[in-house]
Amino acid sequence: MTTIREKTSGFSASFKILNRDLRLIFTSNLVGAFGDGLYAYLLPYYMTEALGASSVEVGALYALTSLTAALTLLAAGALADKYDRKKIMIAGWVAWIPTPLIFAFARNWVQMVPGMLLWGFWLGGPTSTAYIVTAADKDRLTLTFTVISSAWSLGYIFSPAVGGYIAGKVGMQTVFLVSFVLYTLATLILAFIRSQHVKPPEEEKLEGYPSTLTLLKTGKLVAISAFFAATMFVLMMYRPFVPKFLADIHNYGDFEIGVFGSIAFAGSAVLGIALGRLGDKHGKKFALAVLMMLCSFSLAVILLTGNFYLLALAFFLTGASYTVWSLMSAIIGPMAPEPIRARWISIPQTISMFASILAPYLGGVLYNTSPNMPFAFAIVMTVALTLITLFQKF
């Protein structure tokens, strides 16, 4: 039987593969994730209950965030291949700092719009992926990405429950203010990582590499972009409505919803590292297929029962779905030459974001028709994506 000490030892061993800069990125993500998790999981519920937003309006707000992310990813990729990647990552966090303050002072859902726009500024997406690929041990790349991704999961383990507790006691405004402080601290931690500039091979010139427009015509890149776009669409269609479903159908309150969120991110931390090891040992597509199967099974449990303990198990397993982005980064990152790595990475990330812009809106429409519909549709799609994954060539 695996003991708690063995599990802790396993995580410590995984953490040791990170060098100094990657450990600082891990720490920054951990602090920022705790701040983000204080309100992110409760936000759709808050929009509905406190600000009077309908399901469709909640979906529209999240679609706006996805649209902003899609528009910033290509720009981030171009900037990260031209300037210091460290500074671009810091700029990404700086854009997030005002977000919780805007949410704190919003008095209706329309006033949330500026905050949702800033929340979508994702300058760190392709930039951090390119930085990690360049800095990491290439033989342990999948595990490196899932370990760094686990920082977000670890940050979210307790923060949704803490955020729910604070919200219940003193209100969401205090939650937002604490998040503002933690976002600021996460930004400051990144100031201590080393700079990283693109260094093309001595015999080549940067101008000799394909333009972004040419990359968009690359068959392999287009195919993998379409696959991940479909995956992100399915996940973003139902995810904003999970807290609302727990409240509307299973009659859980703020604190219990926060606890389920914490359990999901605990599952993400544990399962993410397990999937990373699986990907390095048996192939990335196998790890991705397992992730999809866990997602499908957990959604079925959420639909079929309101039992707290069964839901706790389901939320632990659904935590695997939060590692999609790190597996996607591990698959795409090594494909590109170093001088254009960030731009290459930004293309599937951008296409995925554009594909998911309408996903929350569609989820809201389906939820208005029947609360079960977004989740039932997601189950069918995740099964289909599992089968497609097994035939992909990564």
Q: What is the DSSP string of 317-333?
A: HHGGGGGHHHHHHHHHG
Domain hosting 370: range is 17-194+210-391
Q: How confident is the model at residue 7 (pLDDT cuts 50, 70, 90)?
A: very low
pLDDT of 2 > 50? The answer is: no
- Greater model confidence, 226 or 182: 182
Give the count of domains, the chain. Answer: 1
Q: Is position 128 within any domain?
A: yes
Q: Which segment, 59-63, 79-83, 313-317, is predicted with the most confidence on average?
A: 313-317
**Collapsed DSSP state (helix, strand, coil) of residue 366:** helix
State the pLDDT at residue 30.
92
Tell me the C-alpha to C-alpha distance, in Å, between residue 91 and each of 76, 88, 122, 128, 184.
10, 5, 9, 12, 12
State the pLDDT at residue 219.
63
Determine the Cα–Cα distance for residues 323 and 149; give it in Å rounded to an integer. Answer: 7
For range 246-274, the mean pLDDT: 82
pLDDT of 121 > 50? The answer is: yes
For range 281-300, the mean pLDDT: 85
Q: Is position 325 within any domain?
A: yes
How many CB atoms lie under 10 A from the CB of residue 36? 26
Q: How confident is the model at residue 6 (pLDDT cuts 50, 70, 90)?
A: very low
Q: Which segment, 111-120, 125-134, 343-352, is predicted with the most confidence on average?
A: 111-120
pLDDT of 183 > 80? The answer is: yes
Determine the Cα–Cα distance for residues 359 and 224; give it in Å rounded to an integer. Answer: 19
- Greater model confidence, 240 or 182: 182
Nearest to 252 by CA among 333, 301, 306: 306
Handedness of CA 309, 310, 312, 317 (dihedral sign): positive
Q: Is position 294 within any domain?
A: yes
- Greater model confidence, 87 or 215: 87
The identity of residue 203, as a single letter, is: E
- Greater model confidence, 96 or 121: 96
State the pLDDT at residue 344.
72
Token pair in block for residue 324: 């999609």
- With tokens 């670890």, the residue in question is 154
Q: Is position 204 within any domain?
A: no
Q: Is position 202 within any domain?
A: no
pLDDT of 204 > 50? The answer is: no
Q: SS in 3 state form for 172-219?
A: HHHHHHHHHHHHHHHHHHHCCCCCCCCCCCCCCCHHHCCCHHHHCCCH
Q: Is position 78 within any domain?
A: yes
Q: What is the CATH classification number for the domain harbouring 44? A: 1.20.1250.20
How many CB atoms lie under 10 A from the CB of residue 278? 20
Q: Is position 3 within any domain?
A: no
Q: Is position 153 within any domain?
A: yes
